[in-house]
């Protein structure tokens, strides 16, 4: 078993859950259950995106993508978040348009929804087991999401049962509640992916400059830039050294800085640019 296989099996089960929810939702006119079915659709999309992301980020750098392929992951997550937002709005529109419409009860439907709960709970336990065994934070995060799916389904079943007893408006309320859960998931995914896509600095620039300045050969630090590709940190740094420092010593210094930033700030790839430190008024003309 590996992470990708776990995701495939999970995707298949989520597909099954979605089909069951669609059948119950359409036969009882419950918008809340249909909303939960749409939620399952986003779970499937989630599994596909996670599989794609892991697969893609495993590829080494190539001629077209010389920095590697890690940013395909946040790109995929951003796409998924956009999809979730559209689904949430669609659910709200549908729920509002069916406000007060009758909702039917069905004992077969209820039994089937309990099977959904059982499957979903089993899936959570199974995924947590493999998350620990494979030591995967991605699977662990997904397992806790799967557990929240169980809670969502329980809420939806309660809403549907109350609605089917004559409180039709409750169906709309519970459907909109599901829409808000989906929106919250989308929000979390946007927060996770956008900083990486737009190269937001995730490290303390001043602290890096201070650490590098502590090296005796470094006169000053002119520029520090950092970015993250979703997995690893990268940095560009410009330092000023004595004009007469030899090339060999300068190169040694650059290597030292690379090592320092790797151990202290977990930066895997540092580009060091070295400039001669001239007198003060000349520096300002740089
Ligand atoms: Zn879900
Ligand atoms: Zn490529």
| Domains by residue range for the chain, with CATH | 3-197 (1.20.1510.10), 205-283 (3.30.70.1350)
Mean pLDDT along residues 244-264: 94
> How many other C-beta atoms are found inside a 10 Å radius of the C-beta of residue 81?
22
Q: Nearest bound ligand to CA 36?
A: 1
Residue 138 banded pLDDT, cuts 50, 70, 90: confident
The answer to ipTM > 0.95 is: no
pLDDT digits (tens, 9 = 90+) for 1-41: 888 999 999 999 999 999 999 999 999 988 889 989 988 98
- How far apart are the C-alpha atoms of 50 and 43, rounded to whole Å? 10
pLDDT score for 227: 94
pLDDT score for 279: 64
Lookup: tokens for 160 = 């549907």
- How far apart are the C-alpha atoms of 275 and 286, rounded to whole Å? 10
| Phi, psi values for residue 277, rounded to 5° | -85, 115
Beta carbons of 79 and 49 less than 8 angstroms apart:
yes
Please tell me which residue, 189 or 276, carries the higher pLDDT value: 276
| Phi, psi values for residue 218, rounded to 5° | -85, 120
pLDDT digits (tens, 9 = 90+) for 55-79: 887 888 999 999 888 888 888 888 8
Q: Nearest bound ligand to CA 72?
A: 2
For ligand 2, a single-atom ion, the residues with CB < 5 A are: 62, 64-65
Assess whether pLDDT exceeds 70 at residue 198. yes
pLDDT digits (tens, 9 = 90+) for 201-217: 888 999 999 999 999 99
Bridge partners of 271, per DSSP, are 236
- How far apart are the C-alpha atoms of 226 and 44, rounded to whole Å? 34
Ligand 2 centroid – CA 136 distance (Å): 25
Residue 234 banded pLDDT, cuts 50, 70, 90: very high
pLDDT score for 285: 45
Ligand 1 centroid – CA 21 distance (Å): 13
Ligand 1 centroid – CA 79 distance (Å): 16
Mean pLDDT along residues 247-257: 95
Ligand 2 centroid – CA 60 distance (Å): 8
pLDDT score for 68: 87
Return the exposure string of 178-191: e unless at least 16 CB atoms fall within 10 Å of the residue's CB, then b.
bbebbbebbeebbe
Ligand 2 centroid – CA 61 distance (Å): 6
Q: Nearest bound ligand to CA 57?
A: 2
Lookup: tokens for 135 = 């030591």
| Alpha-carbon distances of 243 from 71, 212, 276, rounded to whole Å | 39, 18, 5
Q: Helix 31-57 crosses helix 137-164 at what angle (to 10 degrees)?
A: 170
Ligand 2 centroid – CA 63 distance (Å): 7
Ligand 2 centroid – CA 67 distance (Å): 9
Residues in CB range of 121: below 8 A, 6 or more apart = 150
Residue with tokens 């940190």: 233
User: Mean pLDDT, the chain, as a whole number?
Assistant: 89
């Amino acid at each position: 078993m590996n992470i990708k296989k776990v995701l495939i099996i999970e995707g298949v089960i989520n597909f099954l859950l979605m089909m069951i929810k669609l059948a119950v939702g359409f036969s009882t006119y419950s918008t809340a259950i249909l909303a939960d079915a749409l939620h399952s659709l986003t779970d499937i999309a989630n599994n596909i995106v996670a599989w794609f992301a892991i697969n893609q980020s495993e590829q080494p750098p190539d001629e077209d993508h010389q920095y590697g392929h890690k940013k395909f992951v946040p790109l995929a997550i951003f796409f998924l978040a956009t999809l979730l937002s559209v689904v949430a709005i669609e659910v709200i529109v549908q729920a509002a348009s069916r406000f007060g419409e009758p909702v039917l009860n069905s004992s077969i439907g209820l039994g089937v929804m309990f099977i959904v709960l059982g499957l979903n709970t089993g899936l959570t336990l199974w995924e947590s087991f493999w998350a620990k065994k494979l030591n995967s934070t991605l699977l662990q995060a997904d397992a806790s999401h799967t557990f929240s799916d169980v809670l969502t389904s329980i809420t939806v079943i309660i809403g549907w049962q109350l609605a089917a007893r004559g409180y039709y408006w409750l169906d709309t309320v519970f459907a909109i509640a599901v829409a808000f859960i989906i929106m919250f998931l989308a929000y979390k995914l946007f927060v996770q992916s956008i900083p990486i896509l737009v190269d937001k600095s995730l490290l303390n620039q001043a602290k890096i400059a201070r650490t590098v300045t502590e090296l005796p050969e470094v006169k000053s630090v002119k520029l520090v830039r950092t970015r993250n590709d979703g997995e690893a940190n990268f940095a560009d740094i410009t330092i000023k050294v004595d004009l007469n420092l030899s090339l060999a010593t300068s190169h040694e210094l650059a290597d030292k800085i690379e090592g320092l930033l790797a151990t202290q700030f977990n930066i895997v790839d540092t580009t060091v640019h070295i400039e001669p430190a001239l007198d003060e008024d000349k520096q300002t003309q740089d």
